[in-house]
Amino acid sequence: MKLDILVFAVHPDDAELGCSGTIVKHIALGKKVGIIDLTRGELGTRGSAEMRDQEAADSAVIMGLHARENLRFRDGFFENNEAHQLEVVKMIRKYQPELVLTNALHDRHPDHGRAGDLVNDACFLSGLSKVSTQVDGMAQEAWRPRLVLQYIQDRYIKPDVIIDITPYFETKIAAIKAFKTQFFNPELDEPDTYISSPEFFESVIGRAREFGKTVGATYGEGFTSHKLLGVDNLFNLR
């Protein structure tokens, strides 16, 4: 299946927090969107890898994803090396996305930046015909997305582009709340963590309001880009 947008997330719930409004908006526009989770988030204090698997599946239904896979890299200890790059290349060539969205290049969690670098490197390598990959015994053709963007996560980073997600914000919240073990949930008897407090959830809403206000919307999501971005009509800017 060819996708229009392929989202990479080092942990299940990263995509939901960082760009699920953008995902849902583009699905509503008729685009095909999928997520590749790099790890199962097995080092998370709350819940388990199996619970995260189910939560990711539940969230995929809420967002209306066309595909979701997990590469099962080792949470916390994967590396940006040849072996991991080639696994990401296989996914890029499998789904042939026009756009890739991935983790912030610098963030509180060290996995985020390492994953962002890994995916950016793999997107370049995926376009080289002499980089050989196979899936199910079949050789893959080279494919390079035309644009890679990083969604903004815990730490504030000045965005290069902001997407108005106002009509889809409630769906974003529902997708995040699908991860019942990870975020504020008074019904669970689990240890408190940085992301399980009600204040953290309020900060997610506040960030969306901040980005939205900047572009004259109620809610927004921000992205950064390695390369300069262009449009063919000034009236497409806001």
Q: Give the CATH number for residue 162.
A: 3.40.50.10320
Over residues 113-125, the pLDDT tens digits come to: 999 999 999 999 9
Is 46 a domain residue? yes
Write down the pTM of the prediction.
0.96
Is 234 a domain residue? no
Pairing mode, if any, of strands 138-139 and 147-151? unpaired
d(CA 229, CA 238): 14
Over residues 26-51, the pLDDT tens digits come to: 999 999 999 999 999 999 999 999 99
Name the E strands within 175-219: none
Q: Please report, rounded to a whole number, the percentage of residues in the chain having pLDDT higher than 90.
A: 95
At residue 236 the predicted structure's pLDDT band, cuts being 50, 70 and 90, is confident
Q: Which residue, among 147, 143, 150, has the nearest Cα to 129 in the 3D structure?
A: 143
- Helix pair 198-214, 169-177: axis angle to 10 deg: 160
How is residue 59 written in tokens? 């969230």
Single-letter amino acid, residue 160? D
Structural domains of the chain, count: 1
Q: Which residue, among 109, 107, 103, has the nearest Cα to 45 in the 3D structure?
A: 109
Element at 70 (helix H, strand E): strand 67-73
At residue 189 the predicted structure's pLDDT band, cuts being 50, 70 and 90, is confident
Structural domain that includes position 191: 5-228
